[in-house]
Amino acid sequence: MKQLLHKEFIELWRTRKILVVVAILFVFGLLGPLTVKYMPLILSEVPGVPEGLAEFMPEPDITMAVDEYIQNLSQFGVILAILVPMAAVVGEKNSGTAAMILSKPVSRAAFLAAKWILYALVFIGGVLVAGLSGYYYIGVLFEWLRPLYFLALNGLVAIYLVMYLSITLFASSICPSQLAAAGLSFGLLITLGLIGAIPGLSHNLPASLLRWGREIALNQRGEAAWEALVMAGLIIGLTWLGSWFSFQRQEL
């Protein structure tokens, strides 16, 4: 397993995927509070914007900053979780790399697990870096949040992104091409969104983790989303098992 983890790390580093994920999450982590704070000023200086429009915008506050932070991280993080690892398995199957590696005493479960672990660590690290930038600018521009509460928010965001990462690795394991893997991942993303629109089901879906994290960070009393946390864990576990079950039966 150590050799597989080292191989995955070298590949992610050489292809700059680590840098891409961390840099993009870092930038959008700090853009959230900055956008909320300075958007009225920006609008007032943009030519062609109706005079006085900025005056009708709500006064920027910490709640808006946290909301924008979560929205940026979740939206762009999910896009990264689909686009970055979509070739992780299918790319190596099509190039013959997977067959070469598995000709050695390496199990297919270990092959998939190494990919999942490294990609998960990259996204968790990216969220932590984004959290540092977001926490600093929210504190400087608005007020300082409780560090552990904000850390809890970022932990829930990381689980949310790792869930979509797991979905993408599942798609990459069962699909014949990168394009098909990306299409299946986006299709499952849309499906979860449509299910979440059904009254009475949304609080059980992983998207509720973002609402729960927001309430924790802002020290608000709200309903804990344990069902959503369990659902995210189930999706992660089932997609990994599905990847392994399918990969075990494929001819390489």
State pLDDT tens for residues 92-148. Answer: 777 777 778 777 777 888 888 888 999 999 999 999 999 999 999 999 999 999 999
**CA 9/CA 150 separation, integer angstroms:** 29
d(CA 5, CA 7): 5
pLDDT value at residue 160: 95
Q: How far is CA 212 from CA 67, 88, 108, 186, in A?
A: 12, 31, 36, 24
The rounded percent of the chain whose pLDDT value lies above 70 is 92
**What's the pLDDT score for residue 111?**
84
Q: Where are the beta strands (DSSP E) in 88-219?
A: none
CA distance 62 to 192: 29
Please compute the mean of the pLDDT values over residues 14-39 and round it to a whole number. 89
- pLDDT at residue 238 in the model: 93
Average pLDDT rounded to a whole number, residues 215-231: 89
What pLDDT is recorded for position 39? Answer: 72
166 CB contacts (<8 Å, ≥6 apart)?
Answer: 116, 235, 236, 239, 240
Which structure tokens are listed for 31?
């853009």
Q: How confident is the model at residue 198 (pLDDT cuts 50, 70, 90)?
A: confident
Instruction: Please state, in angstroms and rounded to a whole number, the distance separating the CA atoms of residues 156 and 168.
Output: 19
